[in-house]
Amino acid sequence: MILALSLPSILHGLGLHPEYHGETYQLAGKRALVITTSNSVMSAPGESGGKPTGVMASEMTHPYYGFIDAGMQVDVASIKGGQIPVDPQTLGRVIRTPEDDRYMADPIFQAKVNNSLLIDDVDFTAYDAIFLSGGWGAAYDMGYSEVLAEKISAAYYADTPIIGSVCHGALGLINALDKDGNKLIAGRRMTGVTDKQIKELGIEITPQHPETELRKAGALFESQTKLIDFFATHVVVDDERRFVTGQNQNSGHETAHQMMAIIAENAGQ
């Protein structure tokens, strides 16, 4: 009983969901867009049924509240629009975060999640920050969305938006193209959840694995490791300072704040 009650603190101490103690920013008047999966089932190849899944709660709530607390206007969109599936396991007591608790008591954020914007209808170039959240659901739709790929390319060429992702959210970057038809992320330093972490968690039925797909797209993949990668974290800013990618569920705070640091710098703050 004592061990069960202490488990959240034990996991946190091992590295799960580290707190952010770095510099904060005030970016009133700036806009952020948080994008998630619309897939709610973890199905095996050729099947339609499976365990409930979706966006990992913290990979949505950590960046959202980071941007909100900086005074930014934050919109929430998804691949299909409408209600976003939040992986129920990620709201369990053992791994739930303070930001997840804040979300569950926040009717404004809940309304955005239950009525998310359809990415087809969103002008990505109107934002200062675009953040692609992860979770197992993203393995089924983020990397397959032609609309998302096209809009990431448009955002990049609009010059203003800083584009970020965490964990499986990086799959939303793999098919974006440059003006010559080449992979936009080729040659860029990036990270996402490692193949090692996926194997350690025993969930390999998903159709796309971020480390594998980022490497296929020509990204210069890097990561940190621990005995168990579930407790590792790493954030990469590409040399052009347009893409900020976080390794896994532990990287959301740092990724969002690194994005805001670049936005503040570009604004002369």
- Residue 190 to residue 116: CA distance in whole angstroms: 27
Q: What's phi and psi for 78, nearest 5 deg?
A: -145, 170
Q: Cβ(97)–Cβ(58) under 8 Å?
A: yes
Percentage helix, strand, coil for the chain under 3-state DSSP, each rounded to 5? 40, 15, 40
Per-residue pLDDT at 42: 96
Write down the domain spans for the chain. 26-266
Q: In the prediction, which pLDDT does 1 show?
A: 54
Query: Residue 207 forms beta bridges with which residues?
Result: none
pLDDT at 99: 98
Environment class of residue 224 by beta-carbon count within 10 Å: exposed (0-12), middle (13-18) or buried (19+)?
Answer: middle
Predicted pLDDT at 4: 57
What's the confidence (pLDDT) of residue 218? Answer: 98
Mean pLDDT by 10 residues, the chain (269 residues): 72 95 97 98 91 98 98 98 98 95 98 98 98 98 98 97 98 98 98 98 96 98 97 98 98 98 93
In the numeric block, which tokens belong to residue 170?
A: 């990086």
CATH classification (class only), 26-266: alpha beta
Q: Collapse the DSSP code of 82 into the 3-class scheme (helix H, G, I; strand E, B; otherwise coil) and give the result.
A: strand
Q: Can you give the pLDDT at residue 213? A: 98
Q: Which helix (H) or strand (E) holds 129?
A: strand 129-132
Cα–Cα distance for residue pair 48/115, rounded to 1 Å: 24
Q: Sort strands 129-132 and 50-52 into parallel, antiparallel or unpaired.
A: unpaired
In sequence order, the 6+-apart residues with CB closer than 8 A to the CB of 142 are 37, 79, 132, 148, 168, 169, 171, 172
Tokens 């087809």 sit on residue? 120
